[in-house]
Amino acid sequence: MSYLVAAYAVLWAISFGLVFSILLRQRRIRSELDTLRVMVEDDALPLDER
Amino acid sequence: MERTDRREPLLIALTALSGAMVLVALYLALLGAPDANLQSETGRYAQRIIYFHIATAWVGFLAFFVTFVSGIGFLRTQDRAWDVVALSSAEIGTVFMLGVLISGSIWARPAWGVWWVWDERLTISLIQFLIYVGYLMLRSSVEDPSRRARFAAVYGIVAFVSVPINFIAIRMWRTQHPLMFGTEEGGLGPNMMFAFFFSLITFTVWYVTLMWHRIRLERLRDDVEALKLELMG
């Protein structure tokens, strides 16, 4: 029984580890994207409006 | 970005469907399927590992096949979309192959009395896992995006040779690894097939869901790179 529990625990730990890793990376990239968008918008404004 | 947002509800629905299917597959594997025709109680419990062990291996092989096809697609068209699919699939496949190695080792302990043996099937599986770790390392070591995509495409095509070799290993050599079909000792009986095929379908849907999320991540990275270029230029 313990082997069965261990095998399923490992499989789900790996699987959900992958999911969380993807979601975490997505969150970081989205945050970077938002910062860059603000910078691009600021860059597009005339110098006296920045 | 608009296209990604429009498809968001579909992705949420697919993720929820995957979760529900996983729960049903878990029930079938742990409780629904009948016990295997084995003497020891430990052996009968351990046998239930194979429903997810084989399904995990199937996803690994499928993922490497998609990397192989995407590599060909990229070399033919030089389209970045193929490279994104290849990378996403290789990453998912590598993680699932790690799951195959560990769950197989846990199954081997009660079945064979050892965690690991250097027989053909197990050794080829380990080499295959390392080959795809190499694929990911190659990608992170090349700076230029077009060279990286080209090298990775060629590597992904060549690396796929390991999949058919791994698949036929238990038929070509006298390995300890059991054949799961048509055998009485350790194989799957006809009344276990429903749980087995349900697991295969569940893991395939799970793979598609993961691919969608992973590809979306790569597209966001592309957007970041495009904005960086815009700022610099």
Report ipTM for this prediction. Answer: 0.82
Chain B contact for A40, CB < 8 A? yes
Q: How far is B232 from chain A (nearest CA, A)?
A: 10
- Compute the average pLDDT of residues B164-189: 70
- Compute the average pLDDT of residues B27-48: 75
- CB contact under 8 Å between A6 and B106, yes or no, is yes
- CB contact under 8 Å between B210 and A18, yes or no, is yes
- Which band of pLDDT confidence, cut at 50, 70 and 90, is reported for residue B192? confident
pLDDT of B5 higher than 60: yes
**Model pLDDT, residue A5:** 86
Smallest CA-to-CA distance from B166 within B85, B29, B54 is with B54
Chain B contact for A3, CB < 8 A? yes
**Model pLDDT, residue B167:** 86
Separation CA B128–CA B57 (nearest Å): 12
Structure confidence by residue, pLDDT tens digits, B46-87: 778 888 899 999 999 999 999 999 999 999 999 999 999 999
Candidates A15, A28, A41: best to mutate against B (most CBs of B within 10 A) is A15
Q: How far is A22 from chain B (nearest CA, A)?
A: 6
Nearest to A7 among B26, B107, B210 (CB): B107
pLDDT of B6 higher than 90: no
**Better-scored residue on pLDDT, B155 or B48:** B155
pLDDT of B133 higher than 60: yes
For residue B17, give its domain range: 2-232
pLDDT of B175 higher than 90: no
Assign B181 to helix, strand or coil: strand
- Compute the average pLDDT of residues B107-119: 87
Instruction: Tell how far CA A30 is from the center of its chain.
Output: 7
- Compute the average pLDDT of residues A23-34: 93
**Model pLDDT, residue B2:** 47
Half-sphere exposure of residue B4, counting CA atoms within 13 Å on the CB side?
A: 12
**Better-scored residue on pLDDT, B98 or A46:** B98
**Model pLDDT, residue B154:** 97
Domain total in chain B: 1
Q: Provide the β-strand partners of residue B188.
A: B181
**Better-scored residue on pLDDT, B41 or B142:** B142
Nearest to A32 among B92, B98, B224 (CB): B224
- Compute the average pLDDT of residues B15-39: 84
Check which CATH number belongs to the domain holding B155 and give it.
1.20.120
Instruction: Give chain A's mean pLDDT.
Output: 86
pLDDT of A12 higher than 90: no
Percent with pLDDT over 70 in chain B: 87
Separation CA A45–CA B204 (nearest Å): 49
- CB contact under 8 Å between B217 and A25, yes or no, is yes
Candidates A28, A36, A43: best to mutate against B (most CBs of B within 10 A) is A36
**Model pLDDT, residue B3:** 52
**Model pLDDT, residue B37:** 67
Residue A45 burial (CB < 10 Å; 0-12/13-18/19+)? exposed
**Better-scored residue on pLDDT, B105 or A41:** B105
- Compute the average pLDDT of residues B17-31: 89
For the ranges A19-23, B35-39, B206-210, which has the lowest average pLDDT?
A: B35-39
Separation CA B73–CA B54 (nearest Å): 28
pLDDT of A27 higher than 90: yes
pLDDT of B224 higher than 90: yes
- Compute the average pLDDT of residues B86-109: 94
Q: List, as one string, the DSSP characters of B23-45.
A: HHHHHIIIIISPPPS-SSHHHHH
